[in-house]
């Protein structure tokens, strides 16, 4: 799809788009300057470092790298605070200039000026964010703890600036009389909405209290995340004997050896709490005692009554969220969080979860019966506990479907899956990827590709960081080092995917499970949402959409990893190069929903708990909250089976307590599940997973559109109607009636 002429400029990133990089207070020097009568220009000049300092700090200099990419190879930890100081000072000057403008507010002198403001601060924040998430250490954590409350205060000061909001508010009131195109009208509406939701209409003591709450929450989110990561890194199960290693396939042993090497334990084998280490061990180890030990370490991350215990942090977060929601006129935080989203209310979100829950429980009961049979066949007489589930589920699946997971993984090398994700993007959207070795990276594991359109024009850079290691947080995610926009010429996006797969020994291939391959596609769906963005204004670029729509592009992209043509082409044996045998492919297809009950129950359980926390309306209840008892109560009400644990227990539930993107909104994965199954059904109905007309609609209305229109409008423009839940229930095998009691 041809795109306009492009310039490789560092992108201005607006404060409205990237709150994580703008949560914090001004440094003391900035505060001192603020009380003087300096003009914005003098203020910026007074805080501009000298030439010598700029030369020594790459974050303070212009980046002469290809694509203006971050010079990770030259950045040191002590460069960040001076760069943050300068970025905040410049941003403050830009905001003052907008707010104090004596000319009547216009879209250009107010909204466009806000879109351009904060370029340098965003550049620093996004660069720091990548390192803090993927290559952290104690020095980086200290900077994170120092800067998060300061940046939060800086952001609050902007949103609570009365003169600035008066200009934005005046424009919104006059919107019907302004000559704006559709995108400009959307940007104005979303900008005004963000100010209102940040408390711009509050007065007096309420305004000051809201700023205090925002600053405190930023510190608590950082503390929660760091505690969860540190507690997880404290655990390492050393497999000392052959008995400890019994049953583990070569791929798991190789990964355990590499994990030991990463921890300076050469020659040993270590199981960690990375999911890619945890799940294979739980699936293949016959050592029930060790499985129990690993499982309890996994579920108790952040809940070990040590320096990293998160229970009090959770109480403080919930108290402050409730107080803030009340200040803004909402009954609870969940009501605040779901307002202006596709769901609209926490009740609507809960209703969807409940609708799927019944089928998930019924499917789970079928799976439980199969597992009890597998236990009986194996001579096991003990009760079925959560640490038994993976082990016996694998045996039951092997018996029912004759499926050898090791044989599946032998055909799923990570390199091939990466090539598959690129090939699908090419067939759907006409884009190509070429690996680059001249882009600076922060760790040797990171790979970088240039994405070009059908005419060979550069569209952006894609970074892939796929392996687990110490200093990298768990999970998988997409992030943006720079977002696309066309405010000052075409600014190209720099988009990153992170996963946590086991790194193989040197010379060996990285082999992944089918679910892990789907996660690669999932995160790349997010990446394409950023890379294919084609909007003018930064604040609505890429993934800056309603939080319960943001997972749709990622989850629909997973479906192409399950396409038989893709599997036949890219699922080739890592040694022979032969495609996956038809019998294995068929068995894999039959077994696709073998654990659907389990996976949906463990997910919905976490979503129920997340919603329940954030629907609390009584501060006294929060003050006396016992996290374990609260979880137990919510799950008992839902009739949670004993033999399964929720996917994320509260003390390490980053989605809920390490920030606000998914707080009170973990349900969004299920919400997006309705959209992605219904959306992919359009391709199935067309009889072609690469139907050109549908691919263009998907590109035009979703992947390239950013937040240029409301989410439901975007979906229906692609699909031709509103979504149905039936494809999700069918595809996940949840059309199961729960037996009568």
Q: Which residues are identified as catalytic?
A: 523
Q: Which residues contact 652 (CB under 8 A, 6 or more apart)?
A: 228, 231, 232, 301, 302, 303, 310
Query: Which two three-digit tokens encode residue 159?
Result: 């949103």
Rounded to an integer, what distance in angstroms lies between the CA atom of residue 351 and that of residue 598?
A: 20
How far from the centroid of its chain's Cα atoms is residue 723's Cα?
Answer: 24
Please tell me the number of Cα atoms within 13 Å of 719 on its side-chain side.
22
Query: Which two three-digit tokens encode residue 580?
Result: 């996956």
Between the alpha carbon of residue 680 and those of residues 220, 560, 672, the distances in Å are: 39, 9, 12
**Residue 194, Cβ density class (10 Å: 0-12 exposed, 13-18 middle, ≥19 buried):** middle
Query: Which two three-digit tokens encode residue 172?
Result: 């919104």
Query: Which two three-digit tokens encode residue 149?
Result: 């409350």
Rounded to an integer, what distance in angstroms lies between the CA atom of residue 552 and that of residue 522?
A: 10
Phi (first) and psi of residue 197, to 5 degrees: -70, -20
* Dihedral of the alpha carbons of 12, 543, 647, 258, in degrees to the nearest 10: -60
Closest of 47, 18, 29 to residue 125, by C-alpha: 18
Rounded to an integer, what distance in angstroms lies between the CA atom of residue 370 and that of residue 595?
A: 11
Q: Which residues contact 95 (CB under 8 A, 6 or more apart)?
A: 15, 117, 158, 161, 164
User: If you search the block for the tokens 């216009």, which residue do you land on?
Assistant: 106
Dihedral sign, CA of 652, 658, 664, 667?
A: negative
**Within the chain, what is the greatest distance between any pair of CA atoms?**
83
- Helix H, strand E, coil C: the string for 320-375 is HHHHHHHHCCCCCHHHHHHCCCCCCCHHHHHHHHHHHHHHHHHHHHHHHHHHHHHH
Closest of 364, 356, 385, 363 to residue 608, by C-alpha: 356
**Residue 732, Cβ density class (10 Å: 0-12 exposed, 13-18 middle, ≥19 buried):** buried
Between the alpha carbon of residue 127 and those of residues 58, 124, 442, the distances in Å are: 12, 5, 10
Closest of 174, 172, 200 to residue 188, by C-alpha: 172
Sheet bearing 477-482, strands edge to edge: 432-436, 447-452, 458-467, 494-501, 477-482
Rounded to an integer, what distance in angstroms lies between the CA atom of residue 403 and that of residue 593?
A: 13
Give, as one character, the DSSP assignment of residue 503.
P
* Dihedral of the alpha carbons of 58, 61, 66, 68, in degrees to the nearest 10: 110
Give, as one character, the DSSP assignment of residue 9.
P
Rounded to an integer, what distance in angstroms lies between the CA atom of residue 429 and that of residue 448?
A: 20
């Amino acid at each position: 799809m041809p795109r306009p002429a492009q310039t490789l400029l560092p992108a201005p990133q607006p404060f409205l788009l990237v709150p994580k990089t703008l949560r914090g207070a001004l440094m003391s020097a900035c505060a001192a300057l603020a009380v003087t009568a300096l003009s914005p220009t003098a203020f910026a000049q007074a805080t501009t470092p000298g030439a010598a300092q700029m030369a020594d700090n790459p974050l303070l200099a212009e980046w002469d790298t290809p694509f203006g990419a971050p010079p990770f190879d030259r950045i040191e930890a002590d460069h960040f605070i001076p760069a943050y100081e300068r970025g905040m000072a410049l941003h403050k000057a830009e905001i003052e200039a907008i707010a104090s403008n004596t000319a009547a507010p216009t879209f250009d002198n107010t909204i466009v000026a806000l879109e351009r403001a904060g370029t340098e601060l965003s550049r620093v924040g996004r660069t720091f964010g990548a390192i803090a998430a993927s290559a952290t250490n104690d020095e980086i954590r200290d900077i994170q703890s120092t800067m998060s409350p300061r940046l939060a205060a800086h952001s609050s000061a902007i949103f609570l600036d009365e003169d600035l909001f008066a200009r934005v508010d005046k424009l919104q009131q006059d919107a019907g009389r302004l000559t704006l195109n559709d995108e400009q009208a959307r940007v104005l509406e979303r900008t005004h909405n963000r100010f209102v939701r940040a408390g711009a209409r509050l007065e007096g003591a309420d305004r000051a209290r809201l700023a205090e709450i925002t600053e405190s929450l930023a510190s608590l989110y950082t503390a929660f995340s760091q505690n969860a990561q540190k507690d997880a890194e404290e655990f390492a199960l050393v497999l000392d004997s052959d008995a400890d290693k019994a049953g583990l396939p070569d791929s798991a042993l190789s990964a355990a050896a590499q994990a030991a090497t990463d921890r300076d334990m050469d020659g040993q084998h270590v199981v960690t709490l990375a999911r890619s280490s945890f799940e294979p061990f739980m699936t293949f180890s016959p050592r029930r005692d060790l499985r129990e030990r690993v499982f309890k370490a996994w579920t108790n991350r952040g809940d070990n009554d040590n320096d990293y215990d998160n229970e009090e942090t959770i109480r403080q977060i919930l108290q402050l969220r409730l107080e803030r929601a009340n200040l803004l006129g909402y009954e609870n935080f969940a009501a605040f969080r779901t307002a202006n989203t596709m769901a609209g209310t926490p009740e609507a979100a809960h209703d969807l979860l409940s609708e799927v829950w019944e089928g998930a429980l019924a499917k789970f009961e079928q799976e439980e019966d199969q597992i009890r049979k597998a236990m009986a066949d194996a001579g096991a007489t003990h009760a079925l506990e959560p640490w038994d589930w993976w082990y016996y589920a694998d045996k039951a699946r092997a018996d029912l479907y004759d499926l050898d997971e090791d044989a599946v993984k032998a055909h799923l090398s990570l390199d091939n899956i990466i090539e598959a994700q690129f090939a699908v993007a090419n067939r759907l959207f006409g884009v190509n990827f070429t690996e680059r070795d001249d882009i600076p990276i922060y760790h040797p594991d990171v790979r970088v590709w240039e994405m070009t359109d059908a005419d060979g024009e550069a569209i952006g850079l894609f970074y892939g960081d796929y392996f687990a290691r110490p200093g990298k947080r768990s999970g998988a995610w997409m992030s943006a080092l720079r977002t696309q926009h066309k405010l000052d010429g075409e600014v190209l996006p720099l988009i990153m995917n992170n996963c946590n797969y086991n790194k193989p020994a040197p010379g060996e291939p990285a082999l992944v499970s089918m679910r892990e391959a789907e996660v690669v596609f999932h995160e790349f769906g997010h990446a394409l949402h950023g890379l294919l963005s084609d909007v003018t204004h930064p604040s609505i670029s890429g993934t800056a959409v309603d939080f319960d729509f943001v997972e749709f592009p990622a989850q629909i992209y997973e479906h192409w990893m399950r396409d038989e043509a893709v599997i036949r082409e890219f699922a080739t044996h890592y040694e022979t190069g032969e495609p996956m045998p038809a019998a294995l492919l068929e068995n894999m297809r039959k077994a696709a929903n073998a654990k659907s009950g389990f996976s949906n129950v463990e997910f919905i359980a976490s979503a129920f708990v997340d919603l329940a926390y954030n629907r609390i309306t009584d501060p006294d209840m929060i003050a006396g909250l016992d996290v374990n008892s609260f979880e137990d109560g919510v799950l008992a009400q839902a009739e949670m089976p004993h033999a399964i644990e929720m996917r994320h227990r509260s003390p390490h539930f980053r989605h809920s307590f390490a920030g606000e993107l998914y707080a009170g909104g973990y349900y969004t994965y299920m919400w997006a599940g309705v959209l992605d199954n219904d959306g992919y059904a359009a391709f199935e109905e067309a009889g072609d997973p690469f139907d050109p007309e549908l691919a263009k609609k998907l590109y035009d209305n979703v992947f390239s559109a950013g937040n240029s229109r409301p989410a439901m409008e975007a979906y229906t423009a692609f699909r031709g109607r509103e979504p149905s839940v039936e494809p999700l229930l069918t595809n996940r095998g949840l059309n199961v009636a729960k037996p009568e009691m």
